[in-house]
Structures are given as C-alpha cells and as structure tokens.
Amino acid sequence: MHSRENIRNIAIIAHVDHGKTTLVDKLLQQSGTFRENEQVTERAMDSGDIERERGITILAKNTAVTYKEFLINIMDTPGHADFGGEVERIMKMVDGVLLVVDAFEGCMPQTKFVLRKALESQLTPIVVVNKIDRPNARPDEVIDEVLELFIELGANDDQLDFPVVYASALNGTSSLDPEKQDENMLALYDTITSHIPAPTEDVTLPLQFLVTLMDYNEYLGRIAIGRVNRGVIRQGQSVAVMTREGQTKQARIEKLFGFQGLKRIEVEEAGAGDIIAIAGIKDINIGETIADPANPEALPVLKIDEPTLQMTFIVNNSPFAGREGKWVTSRKLRERLFKELETDVSLRVDETDSPDAFIVSGRGELHLGILIENMRREGFEMQVSKPEVIVRVENGVKMEPIERLLIDIPEESMGSVMESLGSRKAEMVNMVNHGNGQVRLEFLIPARGLIGYRTNFLTLTRGYGIMNHAFDSYGPLVGGQVGGRHQGVLVSSENGSSTLYGILSIEDRGILFLQPGAEVYEGMIVGEHTRDNDIIVNICKEKQLNNIRSAGKDDTVKMKTPRLYSLEQALEYLNDDEYCEITPKSIRLRKKILNKAERERAEKHRKMAEANS
C-alpha cells in the first residue's frame, strides 16, 4: 500500500476556455507518464466527439501522473455552469484545486461559480495565471481581481494565502515569476506537492467509498469511480451498497482499477485517499456508498443544484417521421432518456399524461442541447418544445432563476446592447472600461430574458461581442413579457419541394430558412416574416409556362442567402406554439398544429379562454 503522504488529489477548475484541458495535457506529457515514442493527442482528456468539435469539456475526467515519489490524481472539470453537477461532485474527491485564470480576461462568471463550490468544500487553492504569453496579459491586475473574488466568497485566512504560478499551458512552460518563464512545468508540480495537503483519512477504520462518477464498459458493465473515504478495499471483497433511498444491498468487488496517465491499471487493493474505479456491481448509482458489510455507514448523499430549464421531448409525428432515424418509438425515447439519468445527475425526466411526451429538466440550454445532439447522432428522431424556465414557489411567492451575465463589447455598441437588455428586464450591476475601446458590463437578468438573446447580441455587436453567463440565484418573478421573439414566421401551405420560383415570389416578405429543392410539408416554418404576424406561403409554386417569350428573362435572377440554423439557434428561436423536429440529418421548425384551419380554431379558443379568465 502506498504511503498516504505521497498522494495528492487535485481538481482543475476554471471558466470555459481558460485552458484547463490543455494544462492537463502538458502535466501528463512532462511527467514521464507516456513513453518517448507514444503518440498523445491534443486535449487528450476530451474524449467525446462533441467535446473535441467544440473544444469544451462536458464530463469530468480523471487521470494520474507520477512526479518524483508523488502520485498526483488530477480531475479535469467542465467550465460551463450548465455542467455544475459534474463540478460539485468532484469537489468531494479532492483536497485542493488549481484555479486557472486567463492572464488577460481575468475573473469571469464561471470562475466565480466553480470557485464558490471549491471554497464551500474547504479545499486548498493554488492560482494558475495561464496564457501569460498573451500580448496584452495583465497578471498583476488579474491577481487583484482573484483576491477580491476570494474575499467576496468568504474565503478563510488559509485559503486567502494562496500561491500563484504563472504559466503558458500551450507552450508547456511555468514559473513563479510573471516576467520570465521556465521551459517546463516543474514550478507547478513543486507548488502542488508542497502546498496541497495529503489525504488525512484513516486506513484502519471500516470501509467507506462514495460513488462520484459513473462510466460504462461493454465488458465490465457499470464502473463506479470515486475516492476511498476510509479503510481499505480489495478485489473479490464482499461489500454493502447503501442506496440513495436508504436500502442496503450485498455485492462483491469483481475488479479494482487505479489510474495512470489516461489508462486504468488493475490493482489488488486501495486505501483511504486513493481515487479508484470499481467494476462488477450491477445496479450502482452516483451518490451511493460502498461500505463494510459488518459495519455499514452511509456517507451524506450528494447535494446537486436544481435544474433551471425544462423542455418537452415528444415522439416525432411530422409527415417526414421515420425517414432518417433508427429509433422513433416512444418506448425507445423513454429508454434512452432514463438511461441518461444514470450518469447525469443534474438531469430530471418526468412522464406526462401522454405516453409520447416527456418533460426533461436540465441546467441550461447547452446542457439540454448536448443531450439532444448526442441522441440524434445515435439515430434518434424526436420533437422538442421551446425551452422554459422552471418557476418555484417559496413562501407563496413565485421565484424564477436569475443569471449573472458578463459581456465584453466595443464601446460603440454599448447603447444598443444596453437598450436590448433593458427590454429583457436586465439590471446593470457593474461596468469596467478597459481603455482599449472595450467595455465589460455585468448584469443580473431573468433566465427567460437570455433565451434566444445570443443571435440578437451578435448582430448588435457585429460579431465582436463576447457574452458569458452563469446561474446566480432565484429571485421574485418579473412581471410582463421578458425576451421572446418579436417577428412572425412564414409557414408552408403545401407538401412538396421548394422551387426557386416559389422562393423568389415570397423573398420580399422576410428571410428564408431553406434552399431551393428542400422538401417541405404543410405547417412547416420556412422563414421569418418582416412583421410580427405569421403568414401562410406557397413555397412550392411552379412557374406557368406559355409559348410567349417574356421580356425579363429568368437566367439572371439571384436568390438571397437563406439563414440556416444550428441546433442551439433553432431551440432558441422557437415560440410557444412551435416544435423543433430533430432527426439524424435534419433540423426543422414547425407549428405544433400543422393544418391552417385547425390552427386558427385553436387560436380562437385560446383567445376566448383568455378573455373569460
């Protein structure tokens, strides 16, 4: 058994894009964990397809490096607040954190979010000022910002006395001096080993292990990952599993794995303070305790932030249903959503009166968007409704989620952006002028006001604006309409293929969402109207041919570029009476009621009901 003195368990936390995953890469490469000739991919920790494409971390991952006589377990966590459930659980597994902050951008909303979680868990922090080689880096000011943030979050004296390492993760360099860099990561390794405490748990007490992460493998089934809180665990040992509901089941440890680099290595036993993976327990879930059968004691169940956004997932019933997807039935949809609950603790799935519809609640648009993207890649077809915030009632008062929004914009866009946020009930709490033509504004805004705002924001700042937001708190429900779409839409009246002639005849009515030759059905949304009402259009119209040669010949006609939506943009665009149809190859917007006459009748009923109430 290793001495506990030589183990260090740390998590790397930061705002999105401040370089956590790249930093882990360099720590891995320089620790001698890989052989000289071994090929290591860039951002080796981001293993999912979507993670690689978008350059973001979604699931927390763990790895281990050896440095001198130390074994350093490193947890890479997501930066997006949408994946806060992942960050929160990781804090239970480590004794210290590396807070990575960009040397130019400084503290951002998610920096605050992840740091609060770390300080609440009484962890020892080290601050890494990354991207020190940026031309406009301002390390001293950034350290001041970080110190202010620590004080604001109520850090204790020991936590305030944090060491600072200056680094460039991309170049693999670090030092304790902001002016010059050493050509390696030794300054960071030494700070970790000297400053982060070793685990203090007792190896002699009865076993306790909290399941913090789940993995799945076709050969081994479910794999529970976590930290041994006390005692020793061995292969082949009989254990008690204590479920969230308070029941106790007997089980046996089939296999035990430790971590080395990106590999799992089989180990015979592990002791308190070790981070390990356990295979062979069938129905184990996150948050459950594995304990000594003679003396079973459960650890406190993990507290996870509540979801703030919900959408309805519905079986695809459009005229094009079943053309592209493998999985189209409600049984398959239900199975898949409930399977996701096993590994994603921040997600909730509720069944409705209809067997074809499920209410899925998550931490934000990105959280739900990534679930949908994964499902369509697996061959699922479905429809989803507009994302809605979850309103809670506390002491008889309706409360809604409020987000903290941080935006960096050019000075000249300030007026128009503030006006647009004012109409969405945002309240400005801070403003910093960097003096380089850029202004940073901080707002508190109802989460409803942010749905669908990103596209508008990019238009107002001509693409130069950067916006970040994180959940702040629940506040009293703001009255009146907040956010939402002001434009009406163009709705197809026919089933068929769109023609160039049909498109040109309605082009002056608004912006189109599709190319000529695209298949459409009645009730499908084909464009945005210039006014605030919906209109019915025939986009499949053919030109009537006769034998008289027309004066204006057709061959020079140019069509305007259509606006094509990504999945997130389509979800943000939806209105209450619309669905987004998602299949492995297509994303279509449609009205909930496809037939025009039926739609008008439903609208009439709705207005009558409103008038009566």
Number of H helices, E strands in the chain: 15, 35
Task: For residue 130, say whether it is annotated as part of any ligand binding site.
Answer: yes
Task: For residue 292, say whether it is annotated as part of any ligand binding site.
Answer: no
- Taking the mean position of all CA atoms in its chain, how far away is CA 418? 26
Task: For residue 180, say whether it is annotated as part of any ligand binding site.
Answer: no
d(CA 407, CA 172) in angstroms, rounded, equals 30
Task: For residue 132, say whether it is annotated as part of any ligand binding site.
Answer: yes
Q: Could you tell me where the beta strands, DSSP code E, fall in 434-583?
A: 438-446, 466-476, 489-492, 496-497, 510-512, 519-520, 525-529, 535-537, 578-582
The secondary element (H helix, E strand) that includes residue 500 is: helix 500-506
Do the Cβ atoms of 111 and 148 come closer than 8 Å?
no
- Could you tell me what percentage of the chain is helix, strand and coil, using 3-state DSSP and rounding each to the nearest 5? 25, 30, 40
Q: Quick one: 68 exposed, middle or buried, by C-beta within 10 A (0-12, 13-18, 19+)?
A: exposed
Bridge pairing between strands 309-314 and 221-230: unpaired
Cα–Cα distances (Å) from 567 to 185, 370, 374, 582, 585, in that order, read: 40, 9, 12, 8, 11
* Largest distance between two CA atoms of the chain: 98
Of the candidates 327, 345, 243, 334, the one whose C-alpha atom is nearest the C-alpha of residue 291 is 243
Do the Cβ atoms of 348 and 340 come closer than 8 Å?
no
Radius of gyration over alpha carbons of the chain, in Å?
A: 27
Interhelix angle for 414-422 vs 453-460, to 10°? 160
Q: Where are the alpha helices (DSSP H) in 250-400?
A: 330-343, 365-377
d(CA 161, CA 125) in angstroms, rounded, equals 9
Cα–Cα distances (Å) from 249 to 172, 244, 246, 494, in that order, read: 47, 12, 10, 59
Cα–Cα distances (Å) from 593 to 62, 218, 318, 596, in that order, read: 47, 42, 10, 8
Task: For residue 339, say whether it is annotated as part of any ligand binding site.
Answer: no
Task: For residue 558, say whether it is annotated as part of any ligand binding site.
Answer: no
Look up residue 314 and give its two tokens.
């519905």
Q: Quick one: 48 exposed, middle or buried, by C-beta within 10 A (0-12, 13-18, 19+)?
A: middle
Interhelix angle for 139-152 vs 109-120, to 10°? 50
Task: For residue 20, say whether it is annotated as part of any ligand binding site.
Answer: yes
d(CA 175, CA 514) in angstroms, rounded, equals 53
Residues 6+ apart with CB under 8 A from 329: 315
Tracing tokens 């409705």 back to the chain, one arrives at 352
Question: Is the torsion defined by CA of 511, 513, 518, 519 positive or negative?
Answer: negative
Task: For residue 22, say whether it is annotated as part of any ligand binding site.
Answer: yes
Task: For residue 455, say whether it is annotated as part of any ligand binding site.
Answer: no
Task: For residue 229, say whether it is annotated as part of any ligand binding site.
Answer: no
Do the Cβ atoms of 562 and 514 come closer than 8 Å?
yes
> Per the annotation, where are the binding residues for GTP?
17-22, 130-133
> Per the annotation, where are the binding residues?
17-22, 130-133
